[in-house]
Amino acid sequence: MQIPSRPDYVSVHFTGQQRRSYNNNKQWRRQSCWRKWKQLSRLQRSLALFTLILLFICGMASYPTVAKHLRGFTEREQDAERSILLRPFRPHVLPEPVKQGQHPLPEQLSQRKLSNKRGPPILQNRLQNKGNASNILSEDKAADVRMEGEEDRVISWRGAVIDTDQATDGNKDGENKEDSPHLKHSQDSETSRIEAVREAFRHAWKGYRDYAWGRDELRPISRSYSEWFGLGLTLIDALDTMWILGLKQEFEEARRWVATELTFNKNVDVNLFESTIRILGGLLSTYHLTGDSLFLDKAKDIGSRLMPAFNTQSKIPYSDVNIGKGTAHPPRWTSDSTVAEVTSIQLEFRELSRLTQEPQYQAAVAEVMNQVHKLDGKLDGLVPMFINTNSGQFSHQGIYTLGARADSYYEYLLKQWIQGGKKENQFLEDYLQAIEGVKKNLLQKSSPNGLVFVGELSHGQFSPKMDHLVCFLPGTLALGAHNGLPADHMDLAKELMQTCYQMYVQMETGLSPEIVHFIMHQDSTRDIDVKPADRHNLLRPETVESLFYLYRFTKDPKYQDWGWEILQNFNKYTKVSSGGYTSINNVRDPDYPSPRDKMESFFLGETLKYLYLLFSENLDLISLDKYVFNTEAHPLPIWPSTE
Ligand code: DMJ
């Protein structure tokens, strides 16, 4: 018997039916496949089945890898798309004509050649039109506070975790700057870093806009807000930052709020110092940058409402003012004011007098300085922390610090001297004497690494305690040296800058605590101790502020790199996925830094502004020969020498 031969291949025939009309219905396809299957030999069927099973197993095994790749690819695509969509207005590429009712951005003002009095310098950044958005943003983990992976990270010399991708190559002497790959590298690095600051600002602003619009502060974890004065503190504090960062849309929206919603005719108690440096300072600086009289009008309004604070027996102002009622008072528990508070409102009130030609503002704050200048109770130019509003004398004497309650007294001595064109010698003398007082009484070195730090003195007893607030000092010292003060001020600035940086890098999160204690025992193995109650970080600006000054004056790229590390760690440990950044309770616990649910207004007003200026290579962007920053990072003009 002849076994009917079965072909070892499957031939596909186009039947008459197929030719007649293409009938692709399911039943026909099923029958046809089944017929073909039956025509196969057993061997063929086994082979086909085996191949199918093999393919299935391979598919299952490789699925997770393929899926991960595909997911990553899609996310990267989405990120890129988002960064394009969110790319801010780039004012420095092609300036748009200013329409009526709109407010010109920096480059527009520079082109319009404003008069010397109010015109900002050329606020251009030649690199703002290059590059992409930050690549440092990533998806958040389960918790609200961002905890990114540890890829590309190494352990630093003191055990803290730091990022590796931070180097910027400076230009070496003699290189052809035009063609230099180093220049290209550093330009790319500048572009991506300033873009990362913009991203951070936009993220912080998103939280504020969504959950706290027009309120004082964002509570990013609970997606709500808190009120302190009820005056839109964050919004006002952030105005000039938006201007400087070129965030036109955000600025215009905030300006509308100031024009239509902001009123100071409110029955509220405000702190004289805080509202002067944040609100009056913010409005004055925004007025100078924009030339928009709205901000000057608002500045006059708040300035005049703060004046009742000076109606005291001694002319040393009370800490609190009711801006609606026009009454002022000290805190409930004391008739004292804080020395830093009454001596760090001068830049703003002096500028208000100059702009309005109304002398009472300047006169009131000058009186405070004159009195403090003459007071007994200083130690080598160092001031105590409290001053009594009745007697006009220092109180609680014997404690000397450059931290909380005294810090900005020293800062404003130097800055008033600079603001006034370096003519008011009393400020300079007091400043120089105080710096000598710091060197003599408060400066020490830690062990084993010899970090130079500024401690405190309490009734003759030295304490190796240093507030993060003291980290304003390297910047102030550098500013003084830039203005012709002794060169050893710059040496000290550099040493203290290193110490402030170590306060970050030696912590497990790479973020500084509020207060550190330096260790001075010879046999110690570490330099810094942090008490459990001092482990919080409030997103404070002082270190990045000083990095900005040090970089401007030395051009040493390490200062930019340090600032970059700090920004990355803010992103890693304080960024809240739904918008905003939060203060944290524990800089020593990278697994749970414990969010505090508060974004301080100075994060937008100061920290991000200084970071942006630190990364920008444009020295004309708020030139330190034309502007002096108030203690809340609001730039005010240095007075022209003719005045
Ligand atoms: C700001 O309000 C000011 O910088 C002030 O001088 C000190 N405290 C905060 C920032 O830390």
Q: Which of 536, 542, 599, 601 to mutate to test the pocket of ligand 1 (most atoms within 8 A of CB)?
A: 542
542 catalytic per annotation: yes
CA distance 395 to 389: 10
Q: Residue 553's Cα: distance from chain center in Å?
A: 20
Nearest protein Cα to ligand 1, atom 8: 469
* Residue 27 tokens, joined: 């039943």
CA distance 187 to 207: 31
CA of 181 to the centre of ligand 1 (A): 40
Instruction: List pLDDT tens digits, range 69-117.
Output: 433 333 333 333 333 222 222 222 222 323 333 444 333 433 333 333 3
| Cβ–Cβ < 8 Å for 394, 387 | yes
Residue 174 has pLDDT above 90, yes or no: no
CA of 631 to the centre of ligand 1 (A): 6
Whether the upstream peptide bond of residue 448 has omega within 30° of 0, thus cis, is yes
| Cβ(409) – ligand 1 distance below 6 Å | no
274 catalytic per annotation: yes
Instruction: List pLDDT tens digits, range 530-556.
Output: 999 999 999 999 999 999 999 999 999
Counting Cα atoms < 13 Å in the Cβ hemisphere of 521 gives 7
Q: Which of 503, 631, 634 to mutate to test the pocket of ligand 1 (most atoms within 8 A of CB)?
A: 631
Instruction: Give the residue from 434, 422, 559 showing the smallest Cα distance to 482.
Output: 422
The CB density around residue 102, as the number of other CB atoms within 10 Å, is: 13
Which pTM does this prediction carry? 0.75
What residues have CB less than 8 Å from 295, skipping those under 6 apart?
239, 258, 283, 284, 286, 287
Instruction: Give the residue from 372, 430, 434 showing the smallest Cα distance to 400.
Output: 434
Residue 3 has pLDDT above 70, yes or no: no
Instruction: List pLDDT tens digits, range 109-163.
Output: 333 333 333 322 223 232 233 232 222 222 333 233 332 333 332 222 122 222 2
Catalytic residue among 163, 237, 240, 274: 274
* Residue 621 tokens, joined: 């962007």
Burial bucket for residue 292 (CB in 10 Å: 0-12, 13-18, 19+)? middle
CA distance 477 to 438: 12
Assign 118 to helix, strand or coil: coil
Instruction: List pLDDT tens digits, range 569-619.
Output: 999 999 999 999 999 999 999 999 999 999 999 999 999 999 999 999 999
Instruction: Give the residue from 145, 86, 87 showing the smallest Cα distance to 539.
Output: 145
| Cβ(540) – ligand 1 distance below 6 Å | yes
